[in-house]
């Protein structure tokens, strides 16, 4: 059942280990130019941290801090000790650079292998990694975990859908790593080729890199006849493997022997009560080359408080509701794209693609949702389509408290991507 002994730790054992590793991490971080100066500014004596509760007295680290420290001011060891670097997936401005020693990489691969073993993958599986390699952490992070576990690992990379399908079929792939929007898109290619993906030997998919709803997960499981497991990672904390679902599929276990998670109010930075949504803050506990303290992820989630039937006592976070900076404010209502997806993907008439468009009419913000409809429901009877359109608008209004303008469009008429899906277009600043 378990990949390693750390999965069996009790709460008391986890917290004792976390405190020991937090104290060690603070001493290591203080060797970096960035944290040496930050701790001095705060008047922080790292040796004064005597309990996990003391973490609240430590300063936050933000993405802007890492950008301002580019390229190497957060390094806690000489660059000659580093064996790999990754860069965050942002496309504009100064990137954030994360360095790893060989020990860091070995630790990361073990954590990722632990995740994969937890959901049922074994060395006898054939695993196809359908994620981008290179500076993005998702590709190599998952790849090294699969090899550590002993799987036959296919580094397919992102895109090239026809080749992906050929590899899946020719090598009888049983496990994959895939972005949820791309998994939905790939079903259209299967349909064009006249192949039913349910006939493949696929049984497990590791899904992450972008928020998606429970309704989308269930749809994917039905389309492929496989189990989909949510994963969470970010390059600042290594990459994939920070938190992962077990076979219960109810919340992601944060590996607390490697990370110290907190959930805070995004506006005040103060802790929120367990069970309430807030911003996830993470501290690395196992990295020597570039430890990071209280990193503000901008991801919105909550701790799940009830014990997990799987027996692991590592705390679980709920699926991400979105990011602080993804929140849309329309007519005074706070709306996350995930809320809209959850409604759309629960309706059998809706296809796999949609687009949210924010517009401004004079001084009034409006929201328009283009929705692809499955072929069998896209009929010539305008009354039937009009009824569906009103039903979708009504369901969305009940969820987001704003009545959107809903446009029904034919299947495959909206732009598609083999990478992360672009679900929101904000035309308000352009006055469109």
Instruction: Check pLDDT > 80 for residue 327.
Output: no
As a dihedral over the C-alpha atoms of residue 415, residue 210, residue 129, residue 411, rounded to 10 degrees, the angle is: -30
| Residue 227: pLDDT over 50 | yes
In tens, the pLDDT along 254-278 reads 999 999 999 999 989 999 999 999 9
Predicted confidence band at 431 (pLDDT cuts at 50, 70, 90)? very low
pLDDT tens for residues 396-411? Answer: 988 888 889 999 998 8
Q: Is the bond leading into 71 cis (omega within 30 degrees of zero)?
A: yes
Determine the pLDDT at residue 330. 79
pLDDT of residue 363: 63
pLDDT at 24 over 90: yes
Q: What is the pLDDT of residue 428?
A: 79
pLDDT on residue 432: 42
Task: Tell me how far apart the alpha carbons of residues 62 and 107 are, in angstroms, rounded to a whole number.
Answer: 24
What DSSP element (H or E) covers 164?
helix 161-170
pLDDT, residue 331, reads: 72
- Per CATH, the homologous superfamily of domain 327-426 is ANL, C-terminal domain (3.30.300.30)
The CA dihedral of 192, 356, 206, 61, to the nearest 10 degrees, is 150
Of the spans 87-96, 158-167, 410-419, which averages the highest pLDDT? 158-167
Tens of pLDDT along 336-363? 788 888 889 889 899 888 999 998 876 6
Q: Where are the domains of the chain?
A: 1-324, 327-426
DSSP 370-416: EEEE-GGG--S-HHHHHHHHHHHHHHHHHHHSS--EEEEEETT-S--
pTM here is 0.82
pLDDT at 344 (0 to 100): 92
Average pLDDT over residues 150-179: 96
pLDDT at 75 over 90: yes
Q: Measured at the alpha carbon of residue 98, what is the angle toward residues 95 and 99, in degrees to the nearest 5?
A: 140
Q: What's residue 303's pLDDT? A: 98
Taking residues 89-104, report their average pLDDT. 80
3-state secondary structure of 328: strand
Predicted confidence at residue 39, as pLDDT, reads 96
Weakest mean pLDDT among 46-50, 101-105, 134-138: 134-138
When pLDDT is averaged across residues 38-67 and rounded to a whole number, the result is 94
Question: Residue 91: which pLDDT band, with cuts at 50, 70 and 90?
Answer: very low
192 CB-near residues (< 8 Å, 6+ apart): none
The answer to whether 100 and 79 are in contact (CB under 8 A) is no
Whether the per-residue pLDDT at 384 is higher than 50: the answer is: yes
- Dihedral sign computed on CA atoms, order 141, 143, 148, 149: positive
For the segment 145-154, the average pLDDT, to the nearest whole number, is 98
Q: Is the pLDDT of residue 430 over 70?
A: no
- CB of 228 closer than 8 Å to CB of 209: no
Q: What percent of the chain has pLDDT over 70?
A: 96
Mean pLDDT of 49-70: 94
CA distance 88 to 137: 8
Q: What is the fold of 1-324?
A: Rossmann fold (3.40.50)
How buried is residue 120: exposed, middle or buried, by Cβ count under 10 Å (0-12/13-18/19+)?
middle
Counting DSSP H helices and E strands in the chain, the numbers are 10, 21
């Amino acid at each position: 059942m378990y990949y390693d002994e750390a999965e069996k730790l009790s709460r008391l054992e986890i917290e004792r280990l976390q405190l020991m590793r937090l104290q060690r991490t603070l001493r290591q971080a203080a060797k970096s130019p960035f944290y040496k100066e930050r701790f001095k500014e705060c008047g922080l004596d790292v040796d004064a941290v005597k309990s996990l509760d003391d973490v609240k007295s430590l300063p936050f680290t933000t993405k802007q801090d890492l950008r301002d420290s580019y390229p190497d001011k957060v390094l806690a060891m000489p660059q000659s000790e580093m064996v790999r670097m990754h860069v965050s997936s942002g496309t504009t401005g100064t990137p954030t650079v994360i360095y790893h020693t060989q020990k860091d990489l070995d630790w990361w691969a073990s954590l990722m292998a632990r995740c994969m073993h937890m959901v049922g993958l074994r060395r006898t599986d054939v695993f196809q990694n359908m994620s981008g390699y290179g500076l993005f952490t998702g590709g190599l992070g998952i790849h090294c975990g699969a090899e550590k576990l002993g799987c036959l690992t296919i580094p397919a990379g992102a895109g090239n859908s026809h080749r992906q399908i050929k590899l899946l079929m020719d090598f009888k792939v049983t496990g994959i790593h895939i972005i949820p929007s791309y998994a939905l898109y790939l079903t259209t290619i299967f349909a064009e080729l006249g192949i039913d993906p349910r006939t493949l030997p696929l049984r497990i998919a590791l899904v992450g890199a972008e928020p998606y709803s429970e309704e989308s997960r269930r749809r994917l499981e039905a389309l492929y006849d496989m189990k989909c497991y949510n994963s969470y990672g970010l390059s600042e904390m290594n990459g994939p493997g920070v938190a992962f679902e077990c076979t219960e599929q109810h919340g992601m276990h944060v590996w607390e022997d490697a990370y110290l998670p907190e959930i805070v109010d995004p506006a005040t930075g103060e802790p929120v009560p367990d069970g309430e949504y807030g911003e996830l803050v993470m501290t690395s506990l196992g990295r020597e080359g570039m430890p990071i303290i209280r990193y503000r992820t901008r991801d919105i989630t909550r701790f799940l408080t009830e014990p997990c039937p799987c027996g692991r006592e590592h705390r679980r976070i709920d699926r991400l509701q979105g990011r602080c900076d993804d929140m849309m404010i329309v007519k005074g209502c706070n709306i996350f794209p995930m809320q809209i997806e959850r409604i759309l993907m629960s309706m059998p008439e809706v296809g796999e693609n949609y687009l949210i468009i924010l517009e401004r009419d004079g001084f009034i913000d409006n929201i328009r949702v283009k929705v692809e409809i499955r072929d069998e429901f896209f009929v010539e009877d305008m009354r039937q389509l009009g009824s569906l359109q009103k039903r979708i608008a009504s369901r969305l209004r009940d969820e987001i408290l704003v009545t959107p303008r809903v446009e029904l469009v034919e299947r495959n008429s909206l732009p598609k991507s083999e990478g992360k899906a672009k679900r929101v277009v904000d035309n308000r600043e352009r006055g469109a």
